[in-house]
Amino acid sequence: MSGGMSGGMSGGMVEDLEELVVCESFSSDLAAVARSAEVVAAMGARYLGAPPEKLVIDGVTHLRWAFGSPKVLLLGHHDTVWPMGSLATHPWSVVDGVARGPGVFDMKAGLVQTFHALAGLDSLDGITVLVTGDEEVGSVTSSPLIQDTARGLAAAFVMEASADGGALKTARKGTALYTVNVHGKAAHAGLEPEKGANAGIELAHQILAISAIGAGATTVTPTLLSGGSAANTVPASASVAVDVRVAEVLEQERVDAAMRALRSVVPGTRLEILGGANRPPLEAAMSAPLFAVAQELAAGLGLKPLRSASVGGASDGNFTAGVGCPTLDGLGAVGGGAHADHEHVILAEMPGRTALLRALINAVR
């Protein structure tokens, strides 16, 4: 490590962060995720005084600690978007109080802050910690686990990285993913095109219809397109992927109904609609009371005033809010560049965020 370090860092925080970052954990490499889980489990055991329950679902390794009667959930993930070998091009470093490396901001610093916050409590009673291994690929195996763990609790604190400038994430759009497949009939494009049913033309009609479903804060975006088999053949098949982002549950339901109501226009073609909601929205009402508490606690700790942000990206906090658990997100690292070359964490902010999390836990349990 090189460069100046800001004072006030809790003992071992930087070393702990380095230990997590240098253990690469690309979501799609299940062996790497399993190795990362071992490192996270050992670190958590050091600070919490107990090993986690290891939950392997379809090959993906998740970790859960539970103490006493569940009341508060601390939620995070240890997988990253960075392919194996990224350390060679994006090595761990600390320069002038800024830490860099794959996954440092999203969200390994949040895990370090979690463990250090809990280590400073007089008791862990009522606390559950869940660290999942597939958040970056849609939480396919962990979403039922998250929902079951959060249901009925007083609060969920999501240790995802903060928004710009350290703002907490008080609202997140819900997501849905669809694939619209068009089935038509092939024919020679030069000799007898009239005998075909052109899936490409039908897809064009559907793309226009789909794009019109969006309204206001709701975005319905046709994305990945494919179709046809040869330049001289009427396409017998075509498809489009559709990305949906909504701020409210009612909008998610409206869009789903509209997608499933699509009907073919070109004679001889038929539609197949696949997919649906992935994450429910984290509505601002689910976080407002907790954010008010956080603002008061931050002032008492001498931290700069907290700001809130509504973001389009989803997280596992969407799942906790979706089952009715009050949820506050973005309590993790302050920095920037998630998923990007300039991913970084401002180390001087970590102690204050850790103290805030500790105070929040004590306030709600």
Going by pLDDT thresholds of 50, 70 and 90, the confidence category of residue 235 is very high
pLDDT value of residue 11: 67
Going by pLDDT thresholds of 50, 70 and 90, the confidence category of residue 58 is very high
Go through the domains of the chain in sequence order and give each one's CATH number: 13-172+281-364 (3.40.630.10), 174-279 (3.30.70.360)
> Which are the catalytic amino acids?
79, 135
Strand blocks (E) in the chain: 53-57, 60-66, 72-77, 93-95, 98-100, 127-132, 155-158, 168-172, 174-183, 219-227, 237-246, 270-279, 308-311, 327-328, 335-336, 344-346
- Residues 150-177: pLDDT tens digits? 999 999 999 999 999 999 999 999 999 9
Mean pLDDT of 49-74: 98
Determine contact, residues 331/357, Cβ cutoff 8 Å. Answer: yes
- Rounded to an integer, what distance in angstroms lies between the CA atom of residue 100 and that of residue 87? 10
For the cut 50, the answer to whether the pLDDT of residue 5 exceeds it is no
For the cut 80, the answer to whether the pLDDT of residue 9 exceeds it is no
Mean pLDDT of 233-253: 96
Going by pLDDT thresholds of 50, 70 and 90, the confidence category of residue 208 is very high
Average pLDDT, the chain: 95
For the cut 90, the answer to whether the pLDDT of residue 312 exceeds it is no
Residue labelled with tokens 């907790």 = 290
